[in-house]
Amino acid sequence: MNLIINYLKDFFSRSGSYVFFATVIGRILSFIASWTALKLISNDDLGVVLFAYNIILFLIPISGFGLHQSLIRYGALAKENKDKNSIFLYVLKKGSVASLILIFLIIGISFFINFQFENTFLYIVILSFIILPSFFFEIIRAQFRLQHKNKLFAFTEFIHSIILLVSVFLSSYFFQEIGYAIALLITPFISSILFIKKLNIDFSSKIKLEVTNFGFWKYGFFASLSNVVTQLLFVIDILLIGYLLSNTEMITNYRYISLIPFSLLFLPRVFIATDFVSFTEKIYDKNHIIKYIKSYMTFFFFVSVIALLISWFFTDEILSILDKNFIQFSDTFLILMIGITGIYIFRGLFGNLLSSIGKAHINYYIATFGVLLNIASNYYLIPKYGIIGAAFTSAILMWITGILSAVIFYFLYKKLLFKKL
């Protein structure tokens, strides 16, 4: 129990409570913004914008070719503030160019695609430019974490959500679907302008660091690519249910049944976002890292037990909040809840620890392995068991990839410490 108490004390001392509540409020405001757009724009027109936006959303993690990921890891390892600032300036300059290249690649490729929905190309052109301000916003947030300003980091989430809600309402009200697309574009841009002055960085500094080499780029690229593949891991079930069952009703059922379990994954992300810089700065301190691992796993073991008990005893009540018709799929819901505990206890922690020691490419390999295994398993299980087969595959993979991350980290960390001697 002392492990959990001390772990929570450390979390709160790093302004973790601010990050937690800002994340929760941000999700609520984002939901309201989506609901607002739904009420102000016709379903058909909004659907085209959302179709284009989901394509861009899938590619946003590789904005700047992932250099925002390199910033947070290498910046945490830098000893001097001037070095952290120099890394930020390097990432800002090179990442902006990389983001523009990515934007023009998207537009160029889209030009040759015959989309089934009218105006899809137009919205892809408009929304592709989100990549640049989103990159700015992410590196600003990363720099706040590196400066141990988690309150400001949390505040960026809150302000971004407020701006999104207001801009979606005004733009959608006056300009309908084109206004909604513009609101999505200007939100990260305005948010970046509001916060960039709070970084206190000398933008005229020209210190060149040896750390910004090929390994720096490789780390960021694979870290961001890992996020893309991980997103695919969650999306693949929906795609395969639609393809293998040819039943749109089952797609809807699985989408909403999985909504609550997958939404709960924000919790370990909040803790890791708060703690990543801290444990990366002390990654070579074996005792500190072991203590952190024990504390984290103990805390999330109890959180998992509580979540499973609530799910077990109140399954019908939880599903009826969405729709009483979903109660018949209670087994699918419980299987997914068991699955996310694998991410709670293992994957969320050890995936980030692998990134912390510079092995982001391992996360990419694990996620790719998970996607391939998901496809192979679902081709057998979905036709035979329906959506419960998809849930079973996902749950097993959440545990397998999590345990695999833990085992690989154990061996690589021992090797890292041995080299350090």
Show contacts of 251-258: CB within 8 Å, 24+ apart: 253/326, 253/329, 253/387, 254/332, 254/387, 254/390, 254/391, 256/322, 256/323, 256/326, 257/319, 257/322, 257/326, 257/329, 257/332, 257/333, 257/336, 257/387, 257/391, 258/336, 258/391
Please tell me the distance from the alpha carbon of residue 183 to that of residue 170, in angstroms, as a whole number. Answer: 9
Sequence-separated (6 or more) residues with CB below 8 Å from residue 185: 126, 127, 129, 130, 133
Identify the three-state secondary structure at position 149.
Answer: coil
pLDDT tens by residue, the chain, 421 residues: 778 888 889 899 989 999 999 999 998 898 888 888 888 888 777 878 888 887 888 889 899 999 999 999 999 998 888 888 899 999 999 999 999 999 999 999 998 888 777 788 898 999 999 999 999 999 999 999 999 999 999 999 999 999 999 999 999 889 888 999 999 999 999 999 999 989 888 777 777 778 888 999 999 999 999 988 888 877 788 778 877 887 767 777 887 888 889 889 999 999 999 999 999 999 999 999 999 999 999 999 999 999 999 999 999 998 888 778 888 889 999 999 999 999 999 999 999 999 999 999 999 999 999 999 999 999 989 998 898 999 999 999 999 999 999 999 999 999 988 776 6
What pTM does this model have?
0.89
Domain definitions of the chain by residue range: 16-199, 214-420
Q: Tell which residue, 63, 69, 18, 12, has the closest CA to residue 351.
A: 69
Please tell me the distance from the alpha carbon of residue 113 to that of residue 96, in angstroms, as a whole number. Answer: 26
> Cβ distance 381 to 257 under 8 Å?
no
Q: Which two tokens stand for residue 300?
A: 């999330």
What tens digit of pLDDT does each residue of 244-286 get?
A: 887 767 777 887 888 889 889 999 999 999 999 999 999 999 9
